[in-house]
């Protein structure tokens, strides 16, 4: 296991930012770290990188205890902090050289050339970091996290503020890196998790609420969701009748003619809904079935109100 | 430590801060020494740099906090402290690098003033009629005083993410440690009892003592302890930031 988190708790005052969480990440795994804002994602990552100490428990990266041997542990970790702080008055190459020297990288020039190419910084490599657009700054941050060829990559929201093209590129880059590195990255974007990760850890209010592969999570408690649209508003009698269709679990009115209902993922209600419309002389103008996405599962798991 | 040192030096030299700080120091000291009649050597008529060594601490009191105020405040503000703290370097290496970089600037401000020494040396009648020992002692004293102010300034900067607060706090601490204990020792309660002892807590007493041309180990120990103490406080502040 290259990352082991053992019953870590972090307390700020009386509030538990992270509450007794446990997980392990194997070598070469890409793990998506999901959770609403303030769930404790960043705190966990900061503890893993040794930036802040935990209140209880221990973090072990590449069999090194982060709290006991912070310097050793940091050598094996590439970290991209949230908001990607950078020295804006430094030149891209100057900054990368600085980071490489701090990490005691050998053959610095060659390594920087490699990393510049890998992160697609060629055109911008002679500029000051302050002059770069957000997407390129993100690449500089990523480049500096990669420069010492770390075994474990910890990326805190690496894709915020990128345009769709850059998103695809960075995701592809993370995916490629994951072939021989352990990657933990946090995000809010569900498609990203589906596109990049092998495994998802969902955290809410400091506790882990799901830790599974993307596929299992999608199947677990999965539901079919139907959106139906009638030309006219439904009478209450018709509504009651509709809600009593066999297999239908929940019915919601969105606007007058627009409804949403759910069934388990083994039943297909579309025929029944169509027949219901015919029997009640209602004009069905829209009927759409979709499977419960990761996004919905995320909402179910993290929204208890 | 060397990497942090080089990074800081680069920052001083690529921005205007370094040039302005050194330039202002040289301009002000040469104005006072050679142009203004109240404090000028030419009017004074004695071949001595006393006035320069009297003035320099007061100029350092403002300039050094201006150099050091950003050293940690800016890192907190932009979040780059997180980059530094998650690299395989210790806090002492970060602090040491920043301390040495600021010292480098202080040294650069002092070096050109050796020209004052040379000028007065040549102007003396007969040539060389200047207390060389005392002058060298004073230069060493000034270097230690600068180092103490740098340590204080870095500590003030590690307390807050607001550069202005760091600046003002550093000025106050420098002033208090430099001359504050002198004034306190003259209070009635200490008069003729502990006044000599209280005075020894201040920088001025030791600066004066080295300035007489005798580099006493007691003074060196005082300066080295003061500097280490403030750098140690800085490390505590950096760790406290982690909650």
Backbone angles phi, psi at A6, to 5 degrees: -115, 110
Whole-model pTM?
0.85
Q: Which residues contact A54 (CB under 8 A, 6 or more apart)?
A: A8, A9, A10, A18, A47, A67
Q: Name every chain A residue with its beta carbon within 8 A of the beta carbon of B18.
A: none
Contact yes or no for B82 and A12 at CB 8 A: no
User: B34-63 burial string, b = 16+ CB within 10 Å, else e?
Assistant: eeeeebebeeeeebbbbbbbeebbebbbbb
- CA of A29, closest CA in chain B: separation in Å? 22
**pLDDT of the residue at B47:** 82
Question: A54 by DSSP, 3-state: which?
Answer: coil
Q: Which residues contact A285 (CB under 8 A, 6 or more apart)?
A: A229, A230, A231, A257
Backbone angles phi, psi at A284, to 5 degrees: -85, 115
pLDDT tens per residue across span A91-131: 999 999 999 999 999 899 999 999 999 888 888 889 999 99
Which of B14, B15, B88 lies closest to A71 in CB terms? B88
What is the average pLDDT value for chain A, to the nearest integer?
86
DSSP state of A123: G
**pLDDT of the residue at A304:** 63
β pairing state of A64-65 and A56-61: antiparallel
Which is higher by pLDDT, A283 or A263? A283
Q: Which residues contact A228 (CB under 8 A, 6 or more apart)?
A: A258, A259, A260, A261, A273, A284, A286, A287, A288
**pLDDT of the residue at A99:** 94
Which of B82, B88, B242 lies closest to A53 in CB terms? B242
How far apart (Å, rounded) are the C-alpha atoms in residues A28 and A179?
6
Q: Which residues contact A218 (CB under 8 A, 6 or more apart)?
A: A291, A292, A293, A294, A297
Checking if the pLDDT of A196 tops 90, the result is no
Contact yes or no for B82 and A87 at CB 8 A: no
- Distance between first and last Cα of chain A: 36
- Domains located in chain A, CATH noted: 3-219 (3.40.50.300), 223-302 (3.30.70.1560)
How far apart (Å, rounded) are the C-alpha atoms in residues A262 and B117?
91
Contact yes or no for A87 and B80 at CB 8 A: yes
**pLDDT of the residue at B110:** 93
Q: Name every chain B residue with its beta carbon within 8 A of the beta carbon of A72.
A: 88
Q: Name every chain A residue with its beta carbon within 8 A of the beta carbon of B88.
A: 71-72, 74-75, 102-104
Contact yes or no for B15 and A144 at CB 8 A: no
Question: A127 by DSSP, 3-state: which?
Answer: coil
How far apart (Å, rounded) are the C-alpha atoms in residues A100 and A148?
7
pLDDT tens per residue across span A146-195: 999 999 999 998 888 788 888 888 888 888 888 889 999 898 777 788 88
Which is higher by pLDDT, A154 or A255? A154
pLDDT over 70 percentage in chain A:
97
- CA R_g for chain A: 24
Q: Which residues contact A250 (CB under 8 A, 6 or more apart)?
A: A261, A262
Which band of pLDDT confidence, cut at 50, 70 and 90, is reported for residue A222?
A: low
- For A138, the token pair is 């993100």
Contact yes or no for A51 and B80 at CB 8 A: no
Q: Name every chain B residue with its beta carbon within 8 A of the beta carbon of A96.
A: none
Asked if B74 and A86 count as a contact pair (C-beta separation under 8 A), the reply is no
Which band of pLDDT confidence, cut at 50, 70 and 90, is reported for residue A297?
A: confident
- For A265, the token pair is 């993922």
**pLDDT of the residue at A168:** 86
Contact yes or no for A98 and B7 at CB 8 A: yes
Q: Provide the greatest CA pair distance for chain B.
A: 64
Question: A68 by DSSP, 3-state: which?
Answer: coil
Q: Name every chain A residue with its beta carbon within 8 A of the beta carbon of B14.
A: 89
Contact yes or no for A74 and B86 at CB 8 A: yes
The angle at the Cα of A206, spanning A204 to A210, to the nearest 5 degrees, equals: 45
β pairing state of A56-61 and A152-156: unpaired
**pLDDT of the residue at A31:** 92
Which of B80, B88, B242 lies closest to A75 in CB terms? B88
**pLDDT of the residue at B171:** 96
Beta strands in B19-160 (DSSP E): none
ipTM for the complex shown: 0.86
Query: Average pLDDT of each block of 10 consecutive residues along chain B (243 residues)?
Result: 90 86 92 86 83 91 93 92 91 94 93 91 86 91 95 95 94 94 84 80 91 89 96 92 63
Asked if B210 and B141 count as a contact pair (C-beta separation under 8 A), the reply is yes
Which of B82, B88, B89 lies closest to A51 in CB terms? B82
Q: Name every chain B residue with its beta carbon within 8 A of the beta carbon of A79.
A: 86
The angle at the Cα of B29, spanning B25 to B30, to the nearest 5 degrees, equals: 115
DSSP for B187-204 reads SGGGTTTTHHHHHHHSHH
Checking if the pLDDT of A300 tops 90, the result is no
Q: At which residue do the structure tokens 């700054």 appear?
A: A137
């Amino acid at each position: 296991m290259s990352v082991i988190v053992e019953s870590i708790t972090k307390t700020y005052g009386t509030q538990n930012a992270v509450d007794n969480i446990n997980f392990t990440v194997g070598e070469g795994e890409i793990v998506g770290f999901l959770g609403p804002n303030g769930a404790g994602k960043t705190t966990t990552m900061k503890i893993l990188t040794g930036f802040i100490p935990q209140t209880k428990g221990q973090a072990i990266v590449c069999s090194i205890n982060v709290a006991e041997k912070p310097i050793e542990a940091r050598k094996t970790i590439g970290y991209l902090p949230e908001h990607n702080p950078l020295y804006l008055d430094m030149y891209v190459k100057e900054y990368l050289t600085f980071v490489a020297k701090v990490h005691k990288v050998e053959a610095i020039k060659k390594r920087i050339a490699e990393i510049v190419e890998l992160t697609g910084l060629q055109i911008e490599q002679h500029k000051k970091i302050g002059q770069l657009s957000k997407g390129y700054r993100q690449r500089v941050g990523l480049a500096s996290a990669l420069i010492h060829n770390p075994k474990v990559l910890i990326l805190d929201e690496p894709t915020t503020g990128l345009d769709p093209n850059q998103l695809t590129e960075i995701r592809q880059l993370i995916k490629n890196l994951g072939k021989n590195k352990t990657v933990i990255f946090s995000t809010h974007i569900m498609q990203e998790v589906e596109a990049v990760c092998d495994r998802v850890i969902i955290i809410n209010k400091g506790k882990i609420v799901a830790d599974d592969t993307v596929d299992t999570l999608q199947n677990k408690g999965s539901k079919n969701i139907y959106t139906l649209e009638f030309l006219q508003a439904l009478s209450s009698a018709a509504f009651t009748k509709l809600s009593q269709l066999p297999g239908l679990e929940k019915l919601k009115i969105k606007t007058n003619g627009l409804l949403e209902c759910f069934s388990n993922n083994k039943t297909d209600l579309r025929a029944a809904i169509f027949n219901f419309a015919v029997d009640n002389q209602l004009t069905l103008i829209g009927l759409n079935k979709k499977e419960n996405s990761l996004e919905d599962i995320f909402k179910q798991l993290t929204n208890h109100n | 430590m060397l990497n942090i040192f080089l990074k800081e030096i680069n920052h001083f030299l690529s921005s205007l801060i370094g040039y302005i700080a050194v330039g202002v120091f040289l301009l002000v000291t040469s104005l006072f020494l050679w142009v203004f009649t109240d404090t000028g050597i030419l009017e004074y008529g004695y071949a001595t740099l006393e006035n320069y060594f009297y003035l320099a601490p007061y100029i350092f009191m403002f300039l050094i906090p201006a150099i050091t105020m950003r050293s940690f405040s800016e890192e907190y503000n932009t979040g780059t402290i997180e980059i530094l703290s998650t690299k395989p370097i210790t806090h002492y290496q970060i602090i040491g690098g920043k301390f040495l970089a600021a010292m480098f600037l202080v040294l650069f401000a002092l070096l050109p003033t050796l020209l004052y020494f040379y000028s007065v040396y040549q102007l003396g009648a007969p040539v060389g009629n200047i207390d060389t020992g005392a002058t060298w002692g004073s230069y060493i004293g000034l270097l230690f005083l600068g180092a103490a102010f740098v340590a204080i300034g870095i500590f003030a900067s590690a307390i807050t993410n607001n550069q202005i607060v760091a600046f003002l706090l550093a000025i106050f601490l420098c002033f208090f440690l430099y001359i504050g204990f002198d004034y306190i020792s003259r209070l009635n309660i200490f008069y003729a009892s502990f006044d000599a002892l209280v005075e020894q807590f201040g920088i001025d007493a030791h600066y004066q003592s080295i300035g007489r041309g005798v580099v006493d180990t007691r003074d060196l120990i005082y300066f080295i302890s003061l500097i280490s103490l403030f750098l140690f406080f800085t490390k505590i502040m950096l760790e406290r930031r982690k909650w």
